[in-house]
Amino acid sequence: EVQLVESGGGLVQPGGSLRLSCAASGFTFSSYEMNWVRQAPGKGLEWVSYIGSSGTTIFYADSVQGRFTISRDNARNSLYLQMNSLRAEDTAVYYCARDYSSSSGRVFDCWGQGTLVTVSS
């Protein structure tokens, strides 16, 4: 069974840092591109970041560029999001999502259960 399990969320003060992890199982992690998507309380979905299967291609949303760093460890089947200089508006549930790409395009076909990040003093 394909499974993604996020961890590392919690309460952090504005300006602080946090590192999220996403543990993958049930598929060949190193063959898939991955994303982070977040959802503020009671709000919609916002794409945060993308990383290619080897980790060399990376993209960020403008809202987190320069503050967040996505990375992966294919040997550990894990995806990470290092979040620095956190702001109140970063408060959200953070999901990791598998990126399935084909000749038709790409789609997020599997999502984790999410981890809540709260930025507050």
Partner 1 sequence: EIVLTQSPDFQSVTPKEKVTITCRASQSIGSNLHWYQQKPDQSPKLLIKYASQSFSGVPSRFSGSGSGTDFTLTINSLEAEDAATYYCHQSSRLPHTFGQGTKVEIK
Binding site for partner 1 (CB under 8 A): 35, 37, 44-47, 50, 59, 61-62, 95, 104-114
Give 24 or 37: the residue with its C-beta nearer to partner 1. Answer: 37
Name the token pair of 96: 């990791």
99, containing H or E segment: strand 92-102
Nearer to partner 1, 68 or 95 (CB): 95
For 7, phi then psi, to 5°, come to: -155, 170
CB of 68 to partner 1, least distance (A): 13
Q: Do the Cβ atoms of 32 and 74 come closer than 8 Å?
A: no
CA atoms of 104 and 86, how far apart (whole Å): 36
Residue 57: CB minimum distance to partner 1, A:
11
| Shortest CB 20 distance to partner 1, Å | 14
Nearer to partner 1, 76 or 106 (CB): 106
Structure-token pair, residue 89: 């508006």
Shortest spacing between CB 95 and partner 1, in angstroms: 6
Q: How far apart are CA 21 and CA 71, in angstroms?
A: 10
